[in-house]
């Protein structure tokens, strides 16, 4: 743990690390993605428990500033004390090897103004906490159906790196999208393309998608990464069709009309409410239900038009 942690909190769960990492690689490819390499000695202690491990970055508000790290309360809710809170963004490690001091990720470059990665350069430092949200495939299951928008391509590549040789990934990706240059799947995988809705997430019901992937509810897990309303709709459809919620790994990556900071603020209120109601927010299915309930808040008039 790094000395700049605000104050002592609970010990992080085994295999999880929080540290300051150096940006040691940052390459823009010709296909609209940025490939970033981070290095920190502490990464050698990170132990992902499954595929596609996720981490958060703490990005200082001022370029070149030392990244702050939070402290946590007993429920692992972060606090910044007297420090200026950083920008916080989540990404997915691609090809992390336990024991390695390198974490790499691929971010989609949407050409947004004032994008944090446009202000970032090799040599900068970022706060890091990870890993979480690893995908562990039950022994009876041999297919991961992964449905995502372009920002999920790094995660789809990471999902293809399964410990078990008999697990295949069937990726369902938006028609017409370009796969990032230099981002490889570990083994030959199946890929289908489906026309996207307005948020870039493949359109279609669970019946369409499971038919395309030729899976049934009993022999697959479903992974979803994309805009909140889009993933919430497909999640609800799959549950209604009989897929056990524990078989669905849902990542509401972003919310239309909100920055991730704003979306995280909404999530924080939902989590506080769930804690006050005595819910176990460490349970993955409960956490998913809490996060997807944000889709029911309809203050954005464009919600639902995915």
Query: Which residues of the chain form contacts with ligand FAD (CB under 6 A)?
Result: 54, 89-92, 105-108, 110, 112, 115-116, 133, 151, 154-155, 200, 251, 253-260
CB of 229 to ligand FAD, least distance (A): 11
* Nearer residue to ligand FAD within complex by CB, 126 or 215: 126
* Nearer residue to ligand FAD within complex by CB, 20 or 107: 107
* Nearer residue to ligand FAD within complex by CB, 19 or 151: 151
Tokens 């940006």 correspond to what residue? 23
Angstrom CA distances, 195 to 173, 202, 223, stand at: 8, 6, 18
| Residue 158: φ, ψ to 5° | -70, -35
Q: Residue 24, SS3?
A: strand
CB of 242 to ligand FAD, least distance (A): 26
* Nearer residue to ligand FAD within complex by CB, 45 or 260: 260
Angstrom CA distances, 279 to 12, 197, 205, 285, stand at: 21, 34, 30, 11
d(CA 132, CA 137): 15
Please check whether residue 205 is in contact with residue 190, taking contact to mean a CB–CB distance below 8 angstroms. Answer: no
* Nearer residue to ligand FAD within complex by CB, 16 or 155: 155
Please check whether residue 273 is in contact with residue 231, taking contact to mean a CB–CB distance below 8 angstroms. Answer: no
CB of 7 to ligand FAD, least distance (A): 26
> Which token pair is 158?
């990471």
Q: Residue 165, SS3?
A: coil
CB of 246 to ligand FAD, least distance (A): 18
CB of 192 to ligand FAD, least distance (A): 20
């Amino acid at each position: 743990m790094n000395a700049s942690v605000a104050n002592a909190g609970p010990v992080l769960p085994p295999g999880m690390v929080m540290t300051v990492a150096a940006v040691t690689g940052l390459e823009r490819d010709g296909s609209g993605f940025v490939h970033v390499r981070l290095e920190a000695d502490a990464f050698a202690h990170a132990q992902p428990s499954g595929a596609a491990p996720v981490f958060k970055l703490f990005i200082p508000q001022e370029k070149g500033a030392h990244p702050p790290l939070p402290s946590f309360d007993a429920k692992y809710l972060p606090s910044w004390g007297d420090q200026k809170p950083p920008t916080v963004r989540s990404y997915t490690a691609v090809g992390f090897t336990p024991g390695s001091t390198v974490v790499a990720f691929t971010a989609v470059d949407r050409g947004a103004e004032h994008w944090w990665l446009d202000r970032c350069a090799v040599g900068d430092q970022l706060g890091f906490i990870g890993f979480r949200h690893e995908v562990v495939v039950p022994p009876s299951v041999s297919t991961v159906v992964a449905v995502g928008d372009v920002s999920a391509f790094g995660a789809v590549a990471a999902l293809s790196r399964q410990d078990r040789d008999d697990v295949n990934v069937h990726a369902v990706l938006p028609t017409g999208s370009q796969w990032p240059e230099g981002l490889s799947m570990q083994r030959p995988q199946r890929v289908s393309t489906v026309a996207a809705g307005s948020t870039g997430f493949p359109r279609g019901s669970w019946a369409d998608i499971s038919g395309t992937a030729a899976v049934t509810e009993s022999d697959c897990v479903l992974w979803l990464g994309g805009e909140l309303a889009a993933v919430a709709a497909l999640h609800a459809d799959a549950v209604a069709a009989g897929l056990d919620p524990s078989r669905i790994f849902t990542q509401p990556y972003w919310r239309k009309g909100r920055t991730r900071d704003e979306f995280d603020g909404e999530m924080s209120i939902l989590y506080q409410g769930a804690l006050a109601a005595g819910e176990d927010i460490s349970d993955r299915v409960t956490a998913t239900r809490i996060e997807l309930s944000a889709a029911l808040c309809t203050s954005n008039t464009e919600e639902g038009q995915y």
